[in-house]
Each structure stands twice: as structure tokens, then as C-alpha cells.
Amino acid sequence: MLTLKADENVHFSSDEFAGDNLDSLKILIVEDDRIYQRWMAKIVENFGSEVFLSSNGTEAIEILKKEPISIVISDLCMPDTDGIELTRHVRNLKLDRYVHIIMVTSREDEEDRRQALSNGVDDFITKGTNPSILLARLRTACRMVRHEEELAQRHEELKAAVDHIQRDLAAASTAQKSLLPKLDERFADVIVRSQFQASSFVSGDMFGCFAFEDGFVGFYIVDVAGHGVRSSLNSVAIGHLITKEYFRRNVIGGDGNCTPADLVKELNARFAQQDGDDYFTMICGVIDTSRDLLHFCQAGHPSPLLAVPGSPPIAVGQGGMPVGMFDFAQYQNGMAVFPPGSVLLVCSDAATEAENPEGAFFGDVRLSAFMSRALSENSKTMTEDLVEELNAWRQGAPLEDDLTLIEFDRRH
């Protein structure tokens, strides 16, 4: 074993390490050889670091738990807990800081070093090495510790910023949901029920339903492309725009003639831009209960399912271009018979695009089969049941898109 006198002078110029700032660093020296321990301590103390001493691994762990040590210089071979075991313990402590570990070895044994590195040791010095080498290694360790501290500080700042944004988003989500009606009411002789589930903090779906005189029931569902704040702001803007009066002015003529495509054309003229990102799909329509007709216009929104008495559900509509994508887009009025006893189910694409863990989509066929079953059971909770059916299909996986379901029921 190498022995050194405690008062052995080590000669180096402090200028050699000018600019190194070991001040305020807390360094733990773990060494069972008291003389070598004190020799290292003297070198380190000369540079202003606060030094803690330990002669074994068990005691070192206790010191590390209590003191904000940044650097450990530990002997590899010690009785009881050796340097590698000490390193393993340190890495398992899950401290709020990184501890840089320099291992002191008596020889340059490849296998020892490989094992030490794989257990989390950062650097090595050979016992009895020139003090200049020890200080050079400490200088490197110091740089890494400082860098780690800066990263930790930036991480804290970012975390605080993310927390702040998440609180704002949660507040925005609550505000937006308050704009979405939870429908379960009678409009003329149509009972309208809705379900909405957001995929993220804020969503891009918007919908509304209006009762007009003369037995007209109007509705619209909008699904803004994308997710998050941008989609949400657009959907809220659209929701504010489509008031009951705006809807009536654009859709229901003075002669009772219904032209929902005019509403879509009006919105397209307003929102069409050169950028393909900000667009939305929608479906809007009017149920004319006095003439038993459904008038609708489909703009990229999935086809609704219509079930008239005695017939299975069928998808109605031929599709149409989304709104805000092309200024030249043309929109068509569609019409279907909607007599008493009929049900119309309008779903956003999150219904058919729900995926199970194997990656299979819920799809049109299952949706249609679900509606047939619900009708045969005379279910009055079709939209709630569909939410459950889709949850079961996804087996608890979160929604990847906003889900809006609206049922228009004339079965009474």
C-alpha cells in the first residue's frame, strides 16, 4: 500500500489552475488509509472546497444522504463496502442532484475499471498520482457538476412553465366545454341527445341545435382539423358565429325552403385560405317535422346514419369538400324522408376511427350494427351506450380525436 506522510508538501502553482472554481463545492473523500485520506483532503482544501471524510462505504452513504455532496473521491478497495458497491448505492439513492464519482485505484486494471464504469463510476485516478493530475480531474468534475446544475435549473424553469401552460389549458378546456351544449331535450317533436368527449385539454369540435317556429329543428356539427389550442380557438370562433339567427338567415328561407348548403358556402367564403391547415369538416341540417323531411349538407363530415321505421340504418349523403380548404368548393343540399319513428345518428369521425389494441378500427359496419341493435332494444340512451361501446372497443386507451355524438329521435 502506498503511504504518504500527512504533511508531505505537494508543489504546484495555483496559477496552473487559475479560473477553476472549486469554491462552494462539497467533496467527499472515502479512503480507509487515513494518511492518504488526509493527503488528498489537504490538496482539495487548498482550493476552497468543503471536504468531508469517511473511511468506509457505509458511513459515506449516510453523509451523502445528509450533505449536498457533488463529488465523491473513493478508494476502490476497502473493507466492508468497496468503491464499486458504494457507487451502486449512490446511483440507487435517487438524489436530487448528480454525484460525480472519481475512483482511486492502486493499479490500472482493465477489468476493475470496466466493472466500475458499468456500475456508474465517472472517472479514475491512480493512487499516488501527481497532485496536478488529481486537480485536473477535479477541474473536469467541477465543470460537469456545474453543467449538471445549470441543466437542473433549466429543467425546473421549464417544468414551472409547463405547469403554468397546463393550468391555463385546463381552464380553457373548462371554458370551452361550457360552450358545448349537453343536449337532452325536446325540439318540436324531436328528442335530441348528445355526448361529447375531448381527446386532449382543448378540442376542435363544436356543435349546436336550434328549434325554430313551424316545426323546424336545425343542427350543425363542426370538427376543426388538428387538435389543441389552435383548433380550439377556431372551433370557438365558429361556435360564436353560428347563432340561431345566423343559422336561420342562411338556411331557412321565408317560404320554408331549406338550403343548408348556403350556410356551408357562407362559412367557406369566410374561412377559405391558401393554407391547407386551418379547415374544418361539418354537417348541418334541418329537420322539417311538418313535412317529415331531413335537409342536410355534408362538408367532409362522416355520413350520418338514418333509420326510418321498418328499415335498417343507412348512411345518407355523398360527402363534400371540407370548409376553408378551397374557395372554389361547391356544396350540395341533400334530402331524406324523416317520418315519425325515425332516428338520425350523427357521429364525428372519432367513432368509426376508434382503434382496438390490435389496431382495428371500429368502422362503419360495427357502427351500423350498433345502431340496429340499439333500435331493436328500443334504447333511449343510444349515445351514452355508444360511448361505452367505443370505450370497450379501445379497451381504455385514450381518445385520439374529439368524439361528438348526436341523436335525433322521433320514436314517440
Partner 1 sequence: MALVIRDADSPNGSKVCIASTDTPRLTAANAPELKADVTAMVGQGYKHYVVDLSSLSFLDSSGLGALVGLLQSVEAGSHVCVCGINGVVKQLFEITHMTKVFKIHNNVDDAVNWLQELA
Residue 212 or residue 326: which is nearer to partner 1 going by CB? 326
Per CB under 8 A, 272 contacts partner 1 = no
List 226, 372, 379, 387, residue binding partner 1 (CB under 8 A): 226
The distance of closest approach from Cβ of residue 298 to partner 1 in the complex, given in angstroms and rounded to an integer, is 8
Residue 255 or residue 275: which is nearer to partner 1 going by CB? 275
List CB contacts of 366: < 8 A, sequence separation 6 or more: 393
Residue 82 or residue 401: which is nearer to partner 1 going by CB? 401
DSSP secondary structure letters along 127-164: TT--HHHHHHHHHHHHHHHHHHHHHHHHHHHHHHHHHH
- Grid cell at residue 119: 456500475
The distance of closest approach from Cβ of residue 302 to partner 1 in the complex, given in angstroms and rounded to an integer, is 6
Residues 333-392 that bind partner 1 (CB under 8 A): 349, 352-353, 359, 361, 364
Let me know: does 403 contact 390? Beta carbons within 8 Å.
yes
List 38, 100, 301, 410, residue binding partner 1 (CB under 8 A): 301
List 24, 178, 274, 378, residue binding partner 1 (CB under 8 A): 274
Per CB under 8 A, 178 contacts partner 1 = no
Per CB under 8 A, 258 contacts partner 1 = no
Per CB under 8 A, 320 contacts partner 1 = yes
List 260, 285, 302, 304, residue binding partner 1 (CB under 8 A): 302
List 90, 325, 346, 354, residue binding partner 1 (CB under 8 A): 325
Residues in the interface with partner 1 (CB under 8 A) total: 30
The distance of closest approach from Cβ of residue 132 to partner 1 in the complex, given in angstroms and rounded to an integer, is 49
Let me know: does 199 contact 354? Beta carbons within 8 Å.
no
Per CB under 8 A, 61 contacts partner 1 = no
Let me know: does 196 contact 205? Beta carbons within 8 Å.
yes
Tell me the CA end-to-end span of the chain in Å, nearest whole number.
Answer: 98
Give the phi and the psi of residue 253 in degrees, each rounded to 5.
-75, 165
Interface with partner 1 by CB under 8 A: which range of 27-35, 117-125, 210-218, 313-321? 313-321
220-248 as b/e: b if 16+ CB within 10 A: bbbbbbebebebbebbbebbeebeeeebb
List 67, 277, 377, 388, residue binding partner 1 (CB under 8 A): 277
Residue 284 to residues 222, 262, 264, 320, Cα–Cα distance (Å): 9, 10, 8, 12
- Give the C-alpha separation, 100 to 87, whole Å: 10
Amino acid letter, residue 203: S
CA angle 203, 172, 266 (to 5 degrees): 55
List 145, 190, 225, 336, residue binding partner 1 (CB under 8 A): 225
Give the phi and the psi of residue 283 in degrees, each rounded to 5.
-135, 140
List 208, 260, 322, 334, residue binding partner 1 (CB under 8 A): 322
Residues 7-26 that bind partner 1 (CB under 8 A): none
Per CB under 8 A, 227 contacts partner 1 = yes
Contact residues toward partner 1 (CB under 8 A) are: 223, 225-228, 274-277, 279, 281, 298, 300-303, 319-322, 325-326, 349, 352-353, 359, 361, 364, 400-401
